[in-house]
Structure 1
Amino acid sequence: MYLGLDLGTSSLKALLIDADQRILGSASAPLSVERPHPGWSEQDPDSWITATKAALAELAKTHAAELAKVRGIGLSGHMHGATTIDRGGKVIRPCILWNDTRSYEEAAALDADPQFRRLTGNIVFPGFTAPKLKWMAANEPDAFARVAKVLLPKDYLRLWLSGESISEMSDSAGTSWLDVGKRAWDDGLLAATGLDRSQMPSLVEGTDRAGALRAEAASQLGLPAGIPIAGGAGDNAASACGMGTVADGQAFASLGTSGVLFAANNRYLPNPDSAVHAFCHALPGTWHQMGVILSATDSLNWLSGITSTEPSALTAELGDSLVAPGSVLFLPYLSGERTPHNDAAIRGVFAGLGHESDRAAMTRAVVEGVAFAFRDSLAALAQAGTSLSRVTAIGGGSRSSYWTQALATVLGMPVDIPEGGDFGAAFGAARLGLIAAEAADPFAVCTPPATARTIHPNRDLAAGFDDAYQRYRALYPAIKGAMS
């Protein structure tokens, strides 16, 4: 048996698989986010431990015998979080999360230092880890002076599980301290934020053993002591392992709360000017690129709240057959945007509203706007050297036939829908636990699921969507000027 632990922003999920990668069971425990000031987003790291205990206790109600046979654990977690630890192993302050924007000035200052883009292959975004420590140094100097270790969220959980400070390449690539091509911490980047290598965890590949379950934690979780813990992965790379998106040219489009167009690469292809993330993958000798949309299904959730109508009911109103785009346009920049604009201040907009614009017209505009944002990411990936011929759609939005038809038509490529099942980050983490425990071939383990059906572009509507996309592209500079 193998256990995957996925530390999400809103919950901790535990998933159990057997040697044939069949899912035996899963359980989750909720987490809360604190927002003490505008733009702030924090979480208590000790709540992650409490949630892990709760999820394992729930799973043990039906699978205690299987948990007692677990041979490997894999970890996944939300990226970029700054978890600061003092010399006594105590948490110094709440973890500053990936969606916290307080350090936008520090991020801009670091990004202006040429070594950051040159070595990390990425823009220094406000959500990344390094600017958060720069912010701490300026605004909480006493707390900053106590920092003995900076850990990413899943690696703080590993510290409790194993007693060791270890991270891996995919998650560490999102800190702005990793030389992503060399897969190693860079002393110059650390020095630019007032830190040094001693304050970083040691590094392994995601498929390597990275600690073992200590006896005290094992007794609290109902697991055998000494179980090897895999290096694991950041949440997107873990999802890619779950989806089998590990070979060069494979890609998925995640229509989740945020949107991700993820492409696996067999070489390092940085192009920070495109605002594409170029990170290490969880498997040795592999990398990946991502276009990131901050509000994908979250845009539909927002409209759901405004109209007091469930998201599924909103998309159901559109019917099953794609129609030509309407006159209403929507920019899904409710929380700013990463790819391709790197603009934390921009906000969303409806354009082209008329007396005839009903709720369905607004829903169509949201669906189309998110699809157009994915096309922006597709163009950015092409600029960064990656051309895609098809993608697999995952996430809650992929359950909408209308949305996947729009996505296929806007991207101009087939969109595969996988057979039903859980292929997310927890499953990917469990796969990494299996690989680390058994020294298995990562590419033999991380295979794609079967395809249930393929959505092809609607060629009759392609020209109309191309025209609408050009109007969509013209909106950003127009509203940016109005907001500056």
Structure 2
Amino acid sequence: MFCGLDLGTTNINALLVDAQGSVVARSSSPVSINHTAGGGVEQDIDEIWSATISALKGLGSPDQRAAVRAVGISSQGGAMQITDAAGKAVGPVISWLDGRAGEYNQQLTDRLGREWFVQHVGHACSNLCLGQLLRLQDESPALLAGSNRIGFVGDVIVSRLAGRAAHDATSLSIAWLYNPSLRDADPEALKLVGVSADQLPALLPVGEAAGGLLESVAGETGLPADVPISAAVHDQYAAALGSGSVHVGDVMFGAGTAWVLLATTDRLAPPVTDSAFVCTHVIDGLYGQMLSMVNGGSAFAWAVDVLGLSDKTGDELDAMMADVPAGCQGLRCRPTLASGAGAEAGGGRLDGLRLSHTPVHVLRAVAEGLACEFARYLGFLTAAGLPVSRLVMTGGAAASSVTPQILADATGLPLTCCTETDTSAFGAAVIATGLVETETNLATISERLAPGAKQFQPGGDRAVYGPIVEAYIAGRGE
């Protein structure tokens, strides 16, 4: 039995997975978010720890928990926690959602320029922890001085489980402190923000355990003492393992509020857009390019609400959209409706609206517009010479029978829909399995344990969508 633990922003999710990849138990515990003045977003690491213990204690039966052989850790990225030398929290968690460092990041980007960031942190600008550390140096310099350490939610929880703060490259990368060329923390980036490498958590490969479960935690949770605990891995990369997206040319995307793409590549290439960031992959020898579409499920949810369809189930919405022909009888949507960071100033739009169109035409047009926007993002990868051969869909929209087919037809690519809803926690269980099966490649374990999936192939509507996608991309000025 293997335990996968996902330390999400709003929920701690835990799974028990057997050696054949079947989920035998699952548990979840919520955590809160605190919004403060000036755009601050904070969390309480002690609350996150309590929720972690609660999720583990609620996982299956005592006998099942006693059979656990290893625990894998997936975590939200870029959520910074300062600790003292003993690992005690100094101040709150500064969430990845926190907006107080915007001015610092902009000034740093303007001063150093795009190429500096591409070379040193695999991204086109300053963001997240770089700006936050500069802000703290200005506002509370004592926080970063002396023996205090720079931690993140994942490695702090690992330290409380196993007695050693540890994370992997994907976690340090989303903090904007990892150099994928050096495969280590970037010394110049650290110098810029006034911290040293020995203030950071241990940086471990995903196959190396941070330590064994402490006896005190074992007694509280019912898990066996000394079972190996993994270093913390960024949740998107854990989801890639949990969905079997582990080969060159695979593009996994989480179809949540904002669709996030993770492309698996075999070479270190510059970020394909200014919003993309590059990191070494959890699969040895591979790399990842992660891109956020900014828009996604939020646009579809907006349409459902505005059109008065909120009382409909997902299956009912699918049945309604299936009755509308591909192309929505000339109705087109640009679904760039999101506001805030990364949003487009021009907003979204509907074109070709006629009296004959119904609310369901509008709903399907939003889904088709998202497919076109998705195809545009795939074009950034192919234009950079990176292969795109298979799509792997996770998240709420993966349960649909209509949207995945639209995506397969619009892109001309086969699409796999992962049926496991907690793919990051499942991926953490894959990592846990790798801590025991040390002679087996992690990609092999991921494929062997991969949960059930639905397959979609491009169909007859590909001929309809091909010109629509071309016109959409041309209209976006690409």
Deviations along 1:329-372, one digit per CA (max 9) or x if unpaired, are 233341446xxxxx357474334485746532432333223222
Matches of 1:216 and 1:464, distance apart in 2? 62
Deviations along 1:276-320, one digit per CA (max 9) or x if unpaired, are 221121233322112212332122233444455157255543225
1:327 to 320, 327, 331: 331
Matches of 1:471 and 1:265, distance apart in 2? 27
- The residue that corresponds to 1:13 in the other structure is 13
- Does the residue aligned with 2:88 lie in a helix, a strand or coil? coil
| 1:177 to 2:180 alignment | no
Q: Displacement of 1:89 after TM fit?
A: 2.6
2:93 to 79, 92, 95: 95
- The residue that corresponds to 1:187 in the other structure is 187
- The residue that corresponds to 1:255 in the other structure is 255
Identify unmatched segments of 5+ residues in structure 1: 338-342, 477-484
Q: CA, structure 1 residues 42+350, in 2 after alignment: closer, same or farther (shift >3 Å)?
A: farther
- The residue that corresponds to 1:82 in the other structure is 80
Q: Displacement of 1:37 after TM fit?
A: 3.9
Matches of 1:92 and 1:303, distance apart in 2? 43
Matches of 2:264 and 2:161, distance apart in 1? 30
Q: Percent identity?
A: 27
Deviations along 1:366-423, one digit per CA (max 9) or x if unpaired, are 32232222122211212333121221222211222221122123223222334x4456
Amino acid at match of 2:73: L
- The residue that corresponds to 1:117 in the other structure is 118
- The residue that corresponds to 2:380 in the other structure is 380
- The residue that corresponds to 1:473 in the other structure is 476
Matches of 1:148 and 1:319, distance apart in 2? 57
Q: CA, structure 1 residues 333+277, in 2 after alignment: closer, same or farther (shift >3 Å)?
A: farther
- Does the residue aligned with 1:432 lie in a helix, a strand or coil? helix
Q: Displacement of 1:45 after TM fit?
A: 1.6
| 1:438 to 2:442 alignment | no
Q: Displacement of 1:236 after TM fit?
A: 0.7
- Does the residue aligned with 1:446 lie in a helix, a strand or coil? helix
- Confirm or deny: 8 A CA contact 2:250 2:389 kept in the other structure: no
Q: How does 1:230-241 map to 2 (within 5 A)?
A: 230-241=230-241
Q: CA, structure 1 residues 272+252, in 2 after alignment: closer, same or farther (shift >3 Å)?
A: closer
- The residue that corresponds to 1:340 in the other structure is none
Q: Displacement of 1:221 after TM fit?
A: 1.4
- The residue that corresponds to 2:69 in the other structure is 71
Q: How does 1:156-305 map to 2 (within 5 A)?
A: 156-271=156-271, 273-305=273-305
Q: CA, structure 1 residues 376+84, in 2 after alignment: closer, same or farther (shift >3 Å)?
A: farther
Matches of 1:163 and 1:193, distance apart in 2? 27
Q: Displacement of 1:131 after TM fit?
A: 1.8
Matches of 2:320 and 2:35, distance apart in 1? 35
Q: Displacement of 1:324 after TM fit?
A: 0.7
- The residue that corresponds to 2:50 in the other structure is 50
- The residue that corresponds to 1:481 in the other structure is none
Amino acid at match of 1:462: Y
Q: CA, structure 1 residues 92+295, in 2 after alignment: closer, same or farther (shift >3 Å)?
A: farther
- The residue that corresponds to 2:23 in the other structure is 23
Identify unmatched segments of 5+ residues in structure 2: none
Deviations along 1:245-282, one digit per CA (max 9) or x if unpaired, are 22222222321222122221233222365532211212
Amino acid at match of 2:154: K
Amino acid at match of 2:97: N
Matches of 1:358 and 1:225, distance apart in 2? 60
Q: CA, structure 1 residues 410+140, in 2 after alignment: closer, same or farther (shift >3 Å)?
A: farther
Matches of 2:106 and 2:147, distance apart in 1? 23
Q: CA, structure 1 residues 316+7, in 2 after alignment: closer, same or farther (shift >3 Å)?
A: farther
- Confirm or deny: 8 A CA contact 2:404 2:456 kept in the other structure: no
Q: CA, structure 1 residues 235+285, in 2 after alignment: closer, same or farther (shift >3 Å)?
A: same
* TM-score normalised by the chain length of structure 1: 0.88
Deviations along 1:138-174, one digit per CA (max 9) or x if unpaired, are 3444544478222222111112112212111111111
Matches of 1:122 and 1:95, distance apart in 2? 23
- The residue that corresponds to 2:106 in the other structure is 108
Matched length: 466
Q: CA, structure 1 residues 366+232, in 2 after alignment: closer, same or farther (shift >3 Å)?
A: same
- Does the residue aligned with 1:385 lie in a helix, a strand or coil? coil
Q: CA, structure 1 residues 38+13, in 2 after alignment: closer, same or farther (shift >3 Å)?
A: same
Q: CA, structure 1 residues 386+50, in 2 after alignment: closer, same or farther (shift >3 Å)?
A: same
Matches of 2:382 and 2:136, distance apart in 1? 37
- The residue that corresponds to 2:463 in the other structure is 460
Matches of 1:44 and 1:269, distance apart in 2? 37
* TM-score normalised by the chain length of structure 2: 0.89
Deviations along 1:1-33, one digit per CA (max 9) or x if unpaired, are 111100111210110112222221111111222
Q: CA, structure 1 residues 147+328, in 2 after alignment: closer, same or farther (shift >3 Å)?
A: farther
- Does the residue aligned with 1:229 lie in a helix, a strand or coil? strand
Q: CA RMSD in A?
A: 2.7
- Does the residue aligned with 1:431 lie in a helix, a strand or coil? helix
Q: Displacement of 1:454 after TM fit?
A: 1.9
- Confirm or deny: 8 A CA contact 1:213 1:229 kept in the other structure: yes
Q: Which moved more, 1:210-219 or 1:462-471?
A: 462-471
- Does the residue aligned with 2:462 lie in a helix, a strand or coil? coil
- Confirm or deny: 8 A CA contact 1:335 1:347 kept in the other structure: no
